[in-house]
A = this chain, B = another copy of it.
Amino acid sequence: MRAGVFDSGVGGLTVVKSLRSHRLFSEIIYFGDTARVPYGVKDKNTIIRYSLEALEFFKNFEIDIMIAACNSVSAYAIEELRHNAPFKVSGVIEPGVLALKNRAPSKESSILILGTRATIASGKYEKLLRAYGFENITALAPSLFVPIVEEGLFEGAVLDTAMQHYFAEIEPPDFIILGCTHFPLIAEAIGRYFPEAILIHSGDAIVEFLEREHRLTNRFANTQLKLFASENPEHLKKTAALWLDDPTIAAAL
């Protein structure tokens, strides 16, 4: 079983980490469009165009499923990808909403969606949550979180001040959807700010989704990881060695 994981940059490695630790695939082909990151500030047509170009890349490999780890791609380009792909395609929005639904005891639960400007503007999370009967929903685009993560400031004064800036008016929610691949890296800090909230992580959600909806139940002894980037592949590999805590990637550098 082989997966292609597509992301706008290095952030999708948080999804790869979950997929690998659950050993769902014998091989993962990762493509990060690092030359054109970030997608979260781009408009719909641009995101679709870039996603279809990524699809062409994945056609070079014998993959069974293409996973769009990027929430902005999941919000705007899944239909177009499905329409053109010779393999299965999954985004992370539906899996995230299902993971929340499976954990929420009540439709009254309050939900905070955090995402990029593009993801929030799409209204996709909100629409799907409402379809499942949830109504107590707040959507927020804390645009500085991505650059703060990319600067490696996973905790400290800069992140704390940014959280105060964005969260000052927000009532503590029951659930927080981490609707951007970068946010799991600051999940601990967000969890400290809202200690009562349950955090929904795209990586865990997609694993759950693949097991339940796609019946992926085989476990592989090892997941081969092949990393590709449209620019600066060395930076992607270094980030992978760090985030995935994988000495074989580090050794290959």
Show the binding face of A for B, using Cβ within 8 Å: 35-37, 41-43, 46, 143-144, 146-148, 150-151, 153, 156-158, 160-162, 164-165, 231-232
Contacts and interface: CB of A to CB of B under 8 A. Distances in A.
A235 to B, nearest CB: 9
Q: How many copies of the shown chain assemble into the complex?
A: 2
11 contacts: A35-B46, A37-B41, A43-B232, A143-B147, A143-B150, A144-B151, A144-B158, A153-B165, A157-B161, A157-B165, A161-B161
A35 B35 CA distance: 12
Contacts of A42: 35, 231
Contacts of A144: 144, 147-148, 151, 158
Contacts of A147: 143-144, 146-147
A63 to B, nearest CB: 27
A239 to B, nearest CB: 13
Nearest to A153: B165
Contact of A164 (B150, B153, B157, B165): B157
Contacts of A46: 35, 231
Contacts of A41: 37
A164 B165 CA distance: 17
A118 to B, nearest CB: 11
Contacts of A232: 43
A146 B37 CA distance: 15
A37 B43 CA distance: 12
Contacts of A150: 143
Contacts of A231: 42-43, 46
Nearest to A232: B43
B162 A158 contact: yes
